[in-house]
A = this chain, B = another copy of it.
């Protein structure tokens, strides 16, 4: 075999901008709770911590502000967004609607491959639930929902739903620690899958709304399980 000199290097170049990396890192730190709501985000401080200049830090902060994860006030710097109980409720309300919409559309548009992917994801959830592995269920649950978004065949909806889910993930994490929550979640998935496989859009929509919505006791339980600093005391 004679030598092959690649015309164009297929190896992905360092297609990496510092600003993007930073955005990612900070996003993770915020969502994981390492940076707490209300915490100040000093540009020079972050620059020093990450070993870069203020320029990429500022760019990262701007993007985080656009996604609502941080708040920037003119000439007063950025802080990790503080969320009131009301804010949280409203975001969950929208989340439920978007996910329900995904389910409705998926029931109509899903193809065999996607159908299989959802079934598989559901099975993985079942396994994780049976072995009482919260971490595994958390991940499998995410895959299940992602598969559903894909089935809706609406890239815009998929993108928005995903980013809202991401935004809320920090608050949802604690939900699974409730006794019986995993079993209930799984049962709700079951209902969604059944409706999906039957092609019943309305049933799928309702099942999903029920699954995602935070209503009745579920809401107060969710709030109560949150670490104190996650919520702002007074109204915005």
A interface residues, Cβ below 8 angstroms from B: 15-17, 20, 55, 58-59, 62-63, 66-67, 74-75, 87, 90-91, 93-94, 97-98, 101, 105, 154-157, 160
**What distance in Å separates the Cβ of A149 from its nearest Cβ neighbour in chain B?**
12
Within 8 Å by CB of A62, from B62, B154, B156, lies B62
Closest 3 CB pairs of A and B: A66-B66, A90-B156, A90-B154
Instruction: Identify whether the interface residues of A are mostly helix, strand, loop, or mixed.
Output: helix
Using Cβ atoms and an 8 Å threshold, which residues of chain B touch A105? Answer: 93
**What distance in Å separates the Cβ of A109 from its nearest Cβ neighbour in chain B?**
11
Within 8 Å by CB of A63, from B62, B91, B97, B156, lies B62
**Contact in complex: A94, B62 (CB < 8 Å):** no
Within 8 Å by CB of A66, from B17, B58, B67, B93, lies B67
**What distance in Å separates the Cβ of A205 from its nearest Cβ neighbour in chain B?**
10
**Contact in complex: B160, A94 (CB < 8 Å):** yes
**What distance in Å separates the Cβ of A204 from its nearest Cβ neighbour in chain B?**
15
Within 8 Å by CB of A154, from B59, B75, B93, B154, lies B93
Whose C-beta in chain B lies nearest to the C-beta of A95? B156
Using Cβ atoms and an 8 Å threshold, which residues of chain B touch A87? Answer: 155-156
Chain B CB within 10 A, most for which of A20, A59, A62, A97: A62
> CA A194 – CA B78 in complex, angstroms?
45
> CA A66 – CA B105 in complex, angstroms?
26
